[in-house]
Structure 1
Amino acid sequence: MGLDETWNAETASRYDTPGVGMFAPEVLDPVVDRLVELADGGAALEFAIGTGRVAVPLAARGVPVTGIELSEPMLAQLRTKVDAATIPVVLGDMATATAPGEFSLVYLVFNTISNLLTQADQVQCFRNAARHLRPGGRFVLELGIPDLRKLPPGQDAVVFDHREGYAGFDTYDTVNQRLTSHHYTEVAPGDIRLVRSHHRYLWPAELDLMAQLATLTLDSRHADWTGSPLTPHSPSAVSTYRKPTS
């Protein structure tokens, strides 16, 4: 997998939004609470640790956290918060890079598995998680479920957000399960910044097959980190897989 040009120094410098958005306590606290529970007193490994949105508060709760991260600018932003002794990070691809040690928990949040742009790479991500887990350990990941029902017949684009100063829409390639998110932000009057990110979307059932290929079994699945039931209308799924004990 190559590094998406999205995750550059400019993105890293404005990625953190303390207290709002994905950093809002009502969004972040349930994630950390659940990961503390799943770690069960052991060490955790975060794939695509980024700037440490989850890892920093998780480590502050007493869970030893290691990370894997492909983007040097994102890792540099993490290092403004904690040093390598507090949260060691291996620079590399989450589908193939190896972190030292054995872990009770491997986790991948905020639909980041879709940043791997082929099915083969996504399968490798599952296998890499399994390699890092101790027997009985868990791999948990948060998946955004694409709402293809919003696509009108004959069209391939859906607006997902529109407000003053910002517009966002997704374009879909339904044959190859690919989408591109387009983010238009007005940074000054008449000055529009465009950022695109590329993804391969997938479904919970496809995750289960990937887990099977990695000899992992489904432990639980909910709509969110608080344990809400998954329904046909849920925009996301949090799936937990377990490595066999023998």
Structure 2
Amino acid sequence: MSNGNLYPNTASFYDLDNPLSQEELAYYVNRIGEERQVLELGCGTGRLTIPLAERGHDVTAIDLSPQMISILRSKLRDEAITPIQANMTSFTLNKAYDVILVSGFTFHALITYEEQIACLQQIHAHLTPNGLVLIVLFQPTESVKTEQLGVPTRLWEVVDLHTGRTVQKYNLGKQVDLHKQLLTPSYAYDVLDGENRLSRHEEHLTLRYFEFNEVQSLLDQAGLHIVRTDYSFSDSRDHEHNYWIINARRIERV
């Protein structure tokens, strides 16, 4: 995983930028079902972790970013959540889980084949025999693969209710490596305090995009197979959302 994907400068803005929709939460609640042992890889600040725990699930939450895990820990009250700072390619928990989640496009942060396979092998090793894996990916549409360089574009402006500061997010553009299937988007968060003093916080990510047949092959090599693919959180038949929500289980070897 690229060190540029740890959000060292912008973790405090993650919740402003990634609110959990009711449709997304309802999707996970429906797919997970009754109270389960859940492992979430790339939990971030707990946008999904905490709502799942509040619904009775026992959640182990892993993230490599110390900033993200710190924010999650600061939110915890009495929820059944175990936050762990670890790499999702090399963790060992000595426990099996009914459901393993890789939400929020986290899998795209695994740049190399070795990282991708290692992560999926860890998932297989920590999954109960009848367990379910949910992996959310974005589809490699032409707009995704189009390089965007030039004038920064403001994406949104909100008031952070916790600090009272105005935060503006800017898209600084992205570079694309079609051969390696890599995207390097850059963003900036401008913060205005009560005296209109501005501070800028930049983040430069590196993401690997996938073709669907690659995903199938990776899962198969790790002993997993796709049992269902949805295309949005609200309507699984709607292909226009440009998602792949992979539902997978362990391959039963004879």
Letter in 1 for 2:37: A
Alpha-carbon separation, structure 2, partners of 1:31 and 1:116: 24
Gaps of at least 5 residues in structure 1 are none
Deviates more, 1:136-145 or 1:194-203: 194-203
The Cα shift of 1:97 comes to 0.8
User: Cα distance, 1:80 vs. partner?
Assistant: 1.0
Gap change, CA 1:158 and 1:144, over 3 Å in 2: farther
C-alpha spacing 1:52/1:173, structure 2 compared with 1 (3 Å): same
Residue 49 of structure 1 aligns to a residue whose secondary structure is coil
Cα deviation for residue 230 of structure 1 reads 5.5
Among all aligned residue pairs of Structure 1 and Structure 2, give the percentage whose two residues are the same amino acid.
22
Aligned to 2:160: none
Aligned counterpart in structure 2 of residue 58 of structure 1, from 47, 52, 59: 52
Equivalent-residue separation in structure 2 for 1:72 and 1:222 (angstroms):
32
C-alpha change, 1:100 and 1:225, in structure 2 (3 Å) is farther
Tell me by how many angstroms 1:150 deviates. Answer: 6.5
Q: Determine the structure 2 residue equivalent to 1:239.
A: 246
Who is 1:210 aligned against?
A: 218
Superposition map of 1:141-220 within 5 A: 141-148=135-142, 156-157=147-148, 162-163=154-155, 165-168=168-171, 169-188=173-192, 192-220=200-228
The 2-side partners of 1:135 and 1:32 are apart by 20
Give, in whole Å, the separation in 2 of the partners of 1:123 and 1:57.
29
CA contact (8 A) 2:44 2:68 kept: yes
Cα contact 1:223–1:238 (8 A) shared by 2: yes
Paired position in structure 2 for 1:134:
128
Cα 1:219/1:15, change in 2 over 3 Å: same
- Structure 1 counterpart of 2:221, one-letter code: L
Please tell me whether the aligned partners of residues 230 and 237 of structure 1 are also in contact (alpha carbons under 8 angstroms). no
User: What TM-score, normalized by structure 1, do the two folds share?
Assistant: 0.83
Deviation at 1:162, TM superposition (A): 4.6
1:104-163 CA-partner distances (Å, limit 9, x unpaired): 1111011110111112211211111111001011111100112225766xxx33799654
Pick from 21, 24, 29 the counterpart of residue 25 of structure 1. Answer: 21
Deviation at 1:48, TM superposition (A): 1.2
Q: Which residue in the other structure is 1:79 paired with?
A: 73
Match of 1:42 in 2: 36
Hey, what's the Cα distance between the residues in 1 that align with 2:70 and 2:183? 28
Q: Distance in 1 between matches of 2:42 and 2:91?
A: 11
Give the counterpart letter for 2:12 in structure 1: S
Alignment RMSD = 2.7
Alpha-carbon offset, residue 60 of structure 1: 0.5
CA distance in 2 between counterparts of 1:49 and 1:245 reads 28
Q: 1:124 to 1:24 in 2, by over 3 A?
A: closer
In structure 2, what is the Cα distance between the partners aligned to 1:163 and 1:85?
34
Separation in 1 of the partners of 2:144 and 2:4? 27
Matching residue of 2:162: none
Query: 1:185–1:121: structure 2 CA closer, same or farther, 3 Å change rule?
Result: same
| 1:14 corresponding residue in structure 2 | 13
Aligned residues: 236
The runs of 5 or more residues in structure 2 that have no matched partner are: 157-167
CA distance in 2, matches of 1:84, 1:102: 23
